[in-house]
Amino acid sequence: MTVMTKKPSKAKQAPAARQRAPRRKGRRTTLTVPDDLMAAVEEFAERMRTTTNDAIVRLARRGATLLEQEQEIERVAAQRRAAMLEAARASHPREYPPYEEAVASALVLRGYPLPEEWEEAALALREGGEE
C-alpha cells in the first residue's frame, strides 16, 4: 500500500487580502502621478494592505500635516526673531544721547573729573556700567 503525501508548493503564496479603503466624502478628481512616485505609493499601499487611492490620500494627509507644522515653526521663529530684534533695539537705541550725557560718559570713561552739575549723571553712569 502506497501513501501519497502532498508535496509543499513552491509557488508564491498570495499576499493577504487588502482591506477596503474607508469611504470618504469630498471632491473627486483625476490626477497624473509620476511613475517613480506611483511606485512608492503602490509599495506603501501594499505594506499598509490598502488600495492605492487610500495610500495617496494618506500620504497627502501626511504631507499636509508636515506643511502645517513647517508653517507653525516659521510663525514661532518669526515671533522670536521679532522679539530679539525688539530687545536689541531697546538695549541699543538708535538715537544719540543728549550732549551732556555724551560728554559725561566720555569724561567718566577717561577718568576725568566732572563739573559739579554733572556728578549725578556720572554716578548714574557708573552704576549702570558696573552691572
Tell me the DSSP string of 71-118.
HHHHHHHHHHHHHHHHHHHHHS-SSPPPHHHHHHHHHHHHT----GGG
Nearest to 49 by CA among 18, 23, 21, 20: 18
Question: How would you write the pLDDT of the chain (131 residues) with one tens digit per residue?
Answer: 555 555 555 555 555 666 676 777 888 888 899 999 999 999 999 999 999 999 999 999 999 999 999 999 989 988 988 888 888 777 766 677 778 778 777 877 887 777 776 677 666 766 765 44
Distance between CA atoms of residues 59 and 39, nearest Å? 13
CA gyration radius for the chain? 37
Judge contact between 42 and 52, C-beta under 8 A.
Answer: yes
